Structures are given as C-alpha cells and as structure tokens.
C-alpha cells in the first residue's frame, strides 16, 4: 500500500501565533491530536508520527567531503520548516487527503501531503 | 474525416484503456498508434461501422504488444508507472462510463488549475498538445511539460481513477464544471491580444458539456452549465461587429442569434429548473434565457432578471452578482437608483473593468458627462481585449462630441 508523508510546516506567522498562546490554549489541540493518532492506529493507517523540537536544536553533518563537518543550526534559513509529521498508509491520494483533513483540524495547522517514492517490487 | 472521428472517439478509447491497463501513458500512446493504423487503413477500406470499437480494439492490441516488449526489459519500472483501481466494479448505471472516471481524475483538486484544463482537453477532448498550446497561447514545450508533470503526479501521488464517493460527489462535480466553464470563457472572453473569440475553445467546452450531461443527467447544475454555454454561444454571431468592435446586448441584431441553440438552451433551462434544486449555473442560464426570450431589447423582462440575480446573490453572494443586479434595477427603476447600488460596490470592484463601464453608462444616461468620461477612462485602463477596448473608446468619444 502506498505511504504518504503528512508534514506540518511552521513559519514566522504560525510561530508568532503560537507565541501568544498559553499551555491551556494548547490542551484542546493536544487532545485532538491524540484522538487523531488513535484513529490512525485503529484503522491500520498509522506507520509513524512525531513532533520535532525547535529548529534551534538542530545540528547539520556534512560528510560529502574528505572529513565530516558538524555545524550548529538549521540546514536552511528558509522561512518554512518542519514542525512535525505523520507517515501513513493509504490506498490512494483521496484517502490520504481525507486523513490530512482530519490531521489539519486536529493540530490546527496546514498539512502538506507528499507521497513516498514507490518501492521497487522485491 | 479520420481525424474528426478520431477526436470524437479519443476520450472513450483512452478512458477505456486507462481502466484496463492502469496507466494513462500506456492508454494515450496506444490510442496514438491506433490513429496511425486508422490513417493508413480507413482511406483504403472505408471507415468501419463502429469506429470507436475498432479504435479501442486496435489500441488495446498495441498496448498489449508494448507491455509485452517492455515487461522483458524493465518490469519493475513499468509496474511503478501503473495506477491502481481496486474499487469493486459496481453497476452504477451511466456513471460506469470510463470517461467519467477520467473527468474526475483530470479535474482532481490536487492538480494545478491550468493542468486540469490542459489534461481535460487532451485526454477527454482529444486535442493535441500543439492545439492546446495554441489555444492558450503558450509555447508547445511549456504545454507539453505541464501535461507531463500532471500525469506524473497522477501516477506518483496516487490520484485515483474513479468516480468519487457520493459524499464527495457534489464538490467534485463543481470542480469539473468550473474547468469546463473556464475553457468556455477562455474562448469567449479571451484576453489574448487580437483574438476576441476563439471558436475552438468554446466549441470544445460545449462538447465537454454535452458529454458531462450524457454522463450525469441527474445533476441539474450539469444541465444548467450546458444551457448557459449554449445560450451564450447562440448570441455570438451578433456579439462582434464587422470592424471587430464589441456590440453590447441591447444593440445586438437579434435576428443573427442562433435559434436552434436558443431553443435547445431554453428546453434545458426548463428541465433543470423543474428539479427545484437551483444552483449558480442554472440561475445564470435562466438569466440568459430571459434575455434570449425578448424579441427586442425593450421587451426584456427586467423584473424577472433582477429577481434571478437576487436568487443568485442568495446562494452565491458576490459583488459581481450585485453589479449585474444593479444593471437590471437601473432598467426597472431608473439609472439613478441603479447608480446608487453600483457606487456601493466601489472598493471591492475598483479593479474590475465592467464596474467602471457600468458606472460610465449610468452616468452618461444621467447626463453627468465629465464623470462618465473619467469612468470610461478607468475601464479602458483595465482592459486588454481589443473588441471591448474599441467599443468603450467609441462610447467615450461620443460623449466628448456630445
């Protein structure tokens, strides 16, 4: 069955909005995401999911040269960055978009749906 | 002759083969090869009694040959290109037509709007990439890339080849109708320089509208859109004068309107309104039916038109609908009342040239020439359609003389 990557991207606008929220504001979102995760598991669509720490905590390793170089900080200075994601199994894009709709409602953010490269048959 | 039959049948052949082989590319290539065979054989042997079935059988043979050849070479790659349809084959009446699956795939919301239009014209309409590129005035390579990219997304992202579930159907049908109406308007109101009406696109949109109506006769908006396009098309012979100037509705020679198209359009309007599920296209078609019902412009039933725009505003509120309602009200209650309604839309419509053209006309009728002139100037500054430019320039210059 095809797998899809459901990405929750953050940007300056969503960061600014988050900064105005209290822990209490987040409670309903956390509960909705939990419920969504349960629904994914129960239907068999769940593969993996996770929220990422702040991008300030990232480290970049570049081993394309002679010796690996480790640097601090996000890989790119782009305005949009990955905040969290789900990996799901779905029969086709319509099924994946249905999950993405529910995920977007649950996490109160936009969700980007990307298909995984198809595995060559063994 | 061969080309005409081929274009008529192309959509059916490709849709049927896509279902059978699970790949649009395989289906399209095979249909192309079948054409080459037809071009060779038909002029000698004559056109077969059922050219569609002949083309489908020939194309299917070509596709099987090709898959056999390629399966030796790279089975894995071939499998990766396949799109699957594992929905149970339920008997759903006319909805079973493979072309309907194809319409929903081509007009899928996950595709870019311009790609939806191009794919629909290519795979359902049977236009060549070169013809579509020409119609939309983009280089052929650009159009080829757009179509290739969209087909790659269909296969890669797993856009399904099936009619959407009943729950999603109304929204998805609305998306399909929007594509067809966009093709029609691109032909009818072309913003391209030097080409005021591009027959090929309006003709193609109407043909697609007829296919959709045959496939979804129970959806009143589908019938409404076909009626709207027919009633608009009916007036086309009178819409542009010999010198390329736009002729507005009240000044058109109604004898030049196409009676058969008007009769067909009126019958369709009556039919869909009788289902009592009004929608945007049905109401716009009904408005056009009222216009085409009047023997002379002065006989137009403006109260009916104002009422229909009122209904349209209720289900699909927009400042453009309000502008059109104001035009009808101006005919009923005078230009001053109409102008008051139009002026309320300043702001939301200040970048829309018909707003300024409507204001200019109402101000002219009220004898406020200086204001009318600057409104014509504002409209002209926003237009790139030569026929409309010619018309509005003439109206403005008549003011200057008067």
Chain B contact probe: residue of A3, A88, A92, A121 with most B CBs at under 10 A? A92
* Residue B86 with chain A: CB contacts under 8 Å: 91
**CB atoms A2 and B80 under 8 Å:** no
pLDDT-above-70 percentage for chain A? 97
* Joined tokens for residue B245: 């100037």
Residue that the structure tokens 């699909």 belong to: B316
Chain B contact probe: residue of A91, A93, A121 with most B CBs at under 10 A? A93
Sequential pLDDT tens for chain B (402 residues): 777 888 888 988 999 999 999 999 999 999 999 999 999 999 999 989 988 889 999 999 999 998 888 777 665 555 544 544 444 444 443 335 788 899 999 999 999 999 999 999 999 888 889 888 887 888 999 999 999 999 999 999 999 998 888 888 888 999 999 999 988 988 776 655 455 556 778 888 999 999 899 989 989 999 999 999 999 999 998 988 888 888 989 899 999 999 999 999 999 999 999 999 999 999 999 999 999 999 999 999 999 999 999 999 999 899 999 999 999 999 999 999 999 999 999 988 999 999 999 999 999 999 999 999 999 999 999 987 788 899 999 999 988 665
Say which of A92, A120, A121 has its CB closest to residue B158: A92
pLDDT-above-70 percentage for chain B? 91
CA distance B120 to chain A (A): 19
Phi and psi, residue A5, nearest 5°: -100, 120
**CB atoms B158 and A97 under 8 Å:** no
**CB atoms A97 and B160 under 8 Å:** no
Does A50 lie at the interface with B, CB-CB under 8 angstroms? Answer: no
CA distance A60 to chain B (A): 30
Say which of A2, A113, A121 has its CB closest to residue B79: A121
* Residue A45 with chain B: CB contacts under 8 Å: none
CA distance B164 to B152: 21
**CB atoms B160 and A93 under 8 Å:** yes
Single out the residue of B226, B209, B221 nearest to residue B173, CA to CA: B221
Chain A contact probe: residue of B76, B84, B157 with most A CBs at under 10 A? B157
Does A91 lie at the interface with B, CB-CB under 8 angstroms? Answer: yes
Q: What is the pLDDT of residues A70-118, one digit of tens each?
A: 988 777 777 888 999 999 999 999 999 999 999 999 999 999 999 999 7
**CB atoms A115 and B164 under 8 Å:** no
pLDDT, position B192: 52
* Residue A120 with chain B: CB contacts under 8 Å: 76, 80
**CB atoms B76 and A121 under 8 Å:** yes
pLDDT, position B136: 81
CA distance B278 to chain A (A): 28
Does A23 lie at the interface with B, CB-CB under 8 angstroms? Answer: no
- Tell me which chain A residue has its CA closest to the CA of residue B81: A118
Say which of A94, A96, A120 has its CB closest to residue B80: A120
Domains and CATH numbers, chain A: 3-115 (3.30.70.1060)
- Tell me which chain A residue has its CA closest to the CA of residue B108: A94
- Tell me which chain A residue has its CA closest to the CA of residue B84: A92
- Tell me which chain B residue has its CA closest to the CA of residue A89: B158
- Tell me which chain B residue has its CA closest to the CA of residue A112: B110
pLDDT, position B85: 44
């Amino acid at each position: 069955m095809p797998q899809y990557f459901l990405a929750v991207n953050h940007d300056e606008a969503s960061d600014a909005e988050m900064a105005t929220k209290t822990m209490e504001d987040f409670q309903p979102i956390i509960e909705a995401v939990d419920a969504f995760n349960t629904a994914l598991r129960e239907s068999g669509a769940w593969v993996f999911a996770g929220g990422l720490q702040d991008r300030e905590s990232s480290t970049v390793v570049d081993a394309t040269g002679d010796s690996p170089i480790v640097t601090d900080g996000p890989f790119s200075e782009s305005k949009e960055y990955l905040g969290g994601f789900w990996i799901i199994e779905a029969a086709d894009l319509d099924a994946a978009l249905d999950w993405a709709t529910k995920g977007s409602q649950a996490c109160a953010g936009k969700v980007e749906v990307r298909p995984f490269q198809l595995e060559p048959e063994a | 002759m061969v080309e005409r039959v081929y274009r008529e049948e192309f959509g059916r052949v490709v849709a049927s083969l896509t279902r059978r082989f699970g790949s649009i590319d395989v289906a399209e290539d095979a249909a192309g090869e079948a054409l080459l065979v037809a071009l060779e054989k038909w002029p000698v042997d004559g056109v077969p009694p059922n050219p569609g079935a002949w083309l489908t059988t020939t194309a299917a043979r070509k596709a099987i040959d090709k898959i056999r050849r390629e399966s030796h070479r790279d089975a894995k790659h071939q499998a990766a290109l396949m799109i699957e349809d594992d929905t149970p084959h339920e008997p759903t009446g006319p909805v079973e037509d493979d072309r309907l699956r194809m319409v929903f795939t081509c007009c899928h919301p996950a595709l870019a709007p311009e790609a939806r239009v191009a794919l629909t014209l290519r795979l359902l309409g049977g236009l060549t990439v070169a013809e579509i590129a020409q119609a939309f005035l983009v280089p052929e390579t650009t159009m080829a890339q757009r179509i290739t990219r969209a087909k790659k997304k269909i296969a890669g992202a797993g856009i399904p080849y099936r009619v959407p579930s009943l729950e999603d159907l109304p929204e998805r049908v609305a998306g399909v109708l929007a594509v067809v109406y966009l093709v029609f308007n691109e032909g009818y109101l072309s913003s391209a320089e030097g080409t005021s009406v591009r027959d090929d696109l309006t003709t193609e949109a109407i043909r697609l509208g007829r296919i959709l109506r045959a496939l979804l006769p129970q959806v009143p908006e589908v019938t409404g859109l076909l009626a709207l396009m027919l009633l608009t098309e009916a007036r086309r012979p009178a819409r542009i004068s010999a010198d390329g100037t736009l002729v507005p509705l009240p000044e058109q020679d109604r004898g030049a309107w196409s009676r058969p198209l008007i009769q067909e359009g009126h019958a369709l309007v009556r039919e869909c309104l009788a289902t009592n599920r009004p929608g945007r296209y049905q109401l716009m078609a009904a408005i056009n039916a009222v216009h085409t019902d009047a023997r002379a412009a002065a006989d137009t039933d403006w109260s009916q038109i104002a009422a229909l725009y009122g209904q349209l505003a209720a289900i699909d509120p927009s400042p453009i609908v309000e502008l059109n309602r104001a035009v009808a009200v101006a005919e009923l209650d005078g230009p001053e009342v109409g102008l008051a309604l139009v002026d309320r839309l300043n702001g939301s419509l200040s970048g829309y040239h018909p707003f300024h053209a409507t204001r200019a006309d109402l101000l002219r009728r009220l004898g406020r020439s200086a204001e009318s002139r600057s409104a014509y100037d504002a409209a002209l500054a926003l237009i790139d359609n030569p026929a409309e430019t010619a018309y509005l320039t003439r109206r403005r210059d008549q003011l200057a003389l008067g």
